[in-house]
Chain A
Amino acid sequence: MPFTDATRSEAQRLIARYAVARSALLPLLHLVQSVEGYVSEDGIGFCAELLGLTKAEVGAVSTFYSMYKREPVGDYLLSVCTNPTCQIAGGQKIYDSYVEACGGGHVDRDGAGVMVEHAECLGICDAAPVVTINYENYGPVTQDEAMELLAKAKAGEPPESPLSKHTPDTFTAVEREFSGIDDGTDDHLIEAARLQATMAAGPSYRTGATSIPVLHPGGDPAGHGGAAFREESNIGPVRPVTGQAPADEGGAQDLDQPVGDVPSEDDADTEER
């Protein structure tokens, strides 16, 4: 599915919430999953383009985190905790049965479409053993109850969680929630990010005592992600490329010039690769 203009503008709002654009990458990847049902090749390109990163950089991040899926999930993701507290209560057996019920794999495309996974500690050990459907918790569950949860999820009718009193939304809806786009505090956060990014000595792109310049094609040294961020946030011209790391204490001074009156030619230079 191609990314629509509406998604693109939502993505730009997410980016504008952070003083340094790249910080929006995790929320953006959740947004990608809300559209694609997983982190697709297109989705990686979408994030890379918006943030002025390479696809390799985005891919490196998306494969690091377990919640970003590399194949379509279907409507429901069932996670079974198999850490010791849940394991001694039967978590491992539940997971093994789930895999068996999915024909030895971990996805079942019939019906609503489900993916099963074994999870590391889900942080709800008082309800061991725990199964989650799209991150809503169920527990303690017996083996039979667990199998019933799977059957209901496959039928597209997962029950209400007895713990949160929420009925799980579909995977894409939940991922949209996780992106934070509907949190309702955008206006405040965008204004705050604008103020921080335009401070005389503002946030830098990269932290750490390294003098290796961190520049990105399409981006700028302050990591404002190129034109998209500037347009959306009214940030104005950003600091020109100097070839120096914005990070270490000494180097930072060189870059931390007032940004208000940077000539537009410099700005154009930033755009060139």
Chain B
Amino acid sequence: MGITGQASALSYRYDVADVHDIDVYEQHDGYEGLRKALGMEPSAIIEAVKESGLRGRGGAGFPTGLKWSFVAQDTGKPIYVVCNADEGEPGTFKDRSLMELDPHQLVEGMIVAGIALNAVAGYIYLRGEYAHSGRRLAKAIRQAYDKGYLGADVMGSGKRYDLTLHRAAGAYICGEETALLDSLEGRRGQPRLRPPFPATAGLWGCPSTVNNVESIAAVPFILRHGVDWWRQWGTEKSPGTKLVCISGEVNNPGNYEAALGTPISDLIEMAGGMLDGRELKFFCPGGSSTPLLPASAADTDYTFEAIQEAGSLLGTGALMVYSDQTSVVSVVRRFTEFYEHESCGKCTPCREGAYWLSQIYQRIDTGNGRMEDLDLLEDLCDNIFGRAFCALADGMVSPIVASLKYFRDEYVEHIRQGRSPFGVEPRRDIATVTFTHAGGYEPAPPATPRDELETEPTSEPAGQA
């Protein structure tokens, strides 16, 4: 394994004042990666990205160079580069920082990607709510045009390349690459059937690639410093650095750039350790769509392969940390409600399943749960996972299945008592930024087993289950 711990690659300009301005950016090696790329054969650029082992930073971890090599070069149609800046995964805020603090980094990456793929144009599909990112990117693109990095003659190379900032309008599903393309074409953002893959028929039926902000931003660095430089960090299968978004019950939540391979417990330490010395209970290693893991997995190395082995996914690199005082039932309930809200409605397992799961969680969380609800949840999840049109539904059931696996006892207690067990906070109404307790806890009322009392008729989806 290479170097681990905190690193400074993609974020190394974050602290430079006004680096969002092109003049300052140029003084800090700005557009050097592009200059390098223009001196290379496009195929050599793709080869370099392949050798670097850069894996997609948007969640799936697919090798970026390989993805680029699939883009059909011989159709006679224009080729498009699309940047997925629709950051919406709960817990993820790395792209926002990158675009706000160092937007030219992304602009440069988009041009380099365009050169590598012989593309005619690039589109940055920006999450609509990211007003500040949009402002910074719009200015960066305008400045890049003015300085000749974009337009009819990119840096005197004779190549034309244009870049459009396309602000979206708020839909999590548009982070799915084919839904993004549909949205970019002016439709409801619903995923497409594959094949054809975007590499052959993407935007407007033309060969396209859709890459995450962080993946694209990494490419100029790799070209400038070389593959070995990138591979000094991380492991054979997960080289390089990662922007990790650490949030939840830690002392200093924020963006941290770390070498892949850094143990998760070290990442938590990097963020100042657990808030108020609380005890780690569970964490989502890569956003809400990745199966949550119990504290015992905290020594796992932060790599694609190690986290997979531990039973979860690295996802977008959003490490959400929760303590022993937080109710896993409440957290997973809110995740489930998120997916219920964001399900695009295209396929039945996801559209209907999200609705049912959410209702069951509301029932449990508000004290009306029944013991058989746990089996029902598992059964529903089993019927949804892998049977939906896209990965949103898989992400929806992941935290449920994982929480039932690791914290079934807590679910049982929650149902028995009709509320969170003693010492565990439902945290739906605690307003304080310091996360301090809003008073001590009353011991729970004498437990009345709900499962014995349950008489109320319900409309559970028994037929489906």
Contact = CB atoms under 8 A, between A and B. Distances in A.
Interface string B162-190: 10111111111000000001011111110
A184 B131 CA distance: 17
A129 B433 contact: yes
Given A93-B430, A178-B128, A65 B170 contact: yes
A125 B162 contact: no
Contact of B427 (A88, A96, A184): A88
A200 B75 CA distance: 11
A188 to B, nearest CB: 5
Interface string B230-259: 000000000000000111110001110000
Contact of A65 (B100, B152, B171, B184): B171
A137 B183 CA distance: 25
Nearest to B208: A207
B138 interface: yes
Contacts of A19: 78, 204
Contacts of B453: none
Contacts of A189: 162, 164
A121 B169 contact: no
B433 A141 contact: yes
Q: How large is the interface on B (under 10, 10 to 19, 20 to 34, 35 or more residues)?
A: 35 or more
Contact of B331 (A88, A134, A206): A88
Interface stretch (B50-58, B191-199, B369-377): B191-199
A142 B435 CA distance: 11
A246 to B, nearest CB: 7
Contact of A24 (B78, B150, B186, B195): B186
Given A125-B253, A203-B77, A203-B205, A29 B164 contact: no
Given A22-B186, A26-B169, A82-B334, A121 B91 contact: yes
A202 B78 contact: yes
B189 to A, nearest CB: 7
Interface string A4-42: 000000000000011110111111011000000000000
A122 to B, nearest CB: 6
A10 to B, nearest CB: 15
B196 A208 contact: yes
A90 interface: yes
A88 B128 contact: no
B92 interface: yes
Given A23-B184, A67-B169, A183 B138 contact: yes
B162 A84 contact: no
A164 B134 CA distance: 12
A121 B253 CA distance: 15
A17 B123 CA distance: 12
A6 to B, nearest CB: 21
B338 A201 contact: no
B127 A123 contact: yes
A92 B330 CA distance: 12
A94 interface: yes
A112 interface: no
Contact of A166 (B132, B172, B428): B132
A247 B142 contact: no
Interface in B313-352: 318, 320, 322, 326, 330-331, 334-335, 338, 341-342, 344
Contacts of B429: 90, 92-93, 96
B186 A122 contact: no
B169 A30 contact: yes
A142 B162 contact: no
A20 to B, nearest CB: 5
Given A88-B326, A123-B127, A174-B131, A199 B77 contact: yes
A164 B121 CA distance: 30
A126 interface: yes
Contacts of A120: 88, 90, 172, 338, 341-342
A101 interface: no
B8 to A, nearest CB: 18
A54 interface: no
Listed residue (A124, A206, A246) with the most chain B CB atoms within 10 angstroms of its CB = A124
B453 to A, nearest CB: 28
A7 B161 CA distance: 29
Interface in A132-158: 132, 134-137, 140-143, 146
Contact of B320 (A65, A84, A180, A185): A84
B141 interface: yes
Contacts of A79: 129
B294 interface: no
B93 interface: yes
Interface string A225-264: 0000000000000000000001101001000100000000
10 closest A-B pairs (Cβ-Cβ)?
A: A203-B204, A90-B431, A25-B186, A65-B169, A125-B247, A204-B205, A22-B186, A143-B431, A192-B162, A135-B131
19 contacts: A19-B78, A19-B204, A64-B344, A84-B248, A84-B288, A121-B90, A124-B96, A134-B131, A137-B132, A142-B432, A180-B167, A183-B138, A183-B141, A188-B145, A192-B120, A192-B121, A201-B75, A203-B204, A249-B196
Given A123-B88, A142-B431, 6 more contacts: A64-B171, A88-B322, A146-B431, A180-B138, A191-B152, A209-B201
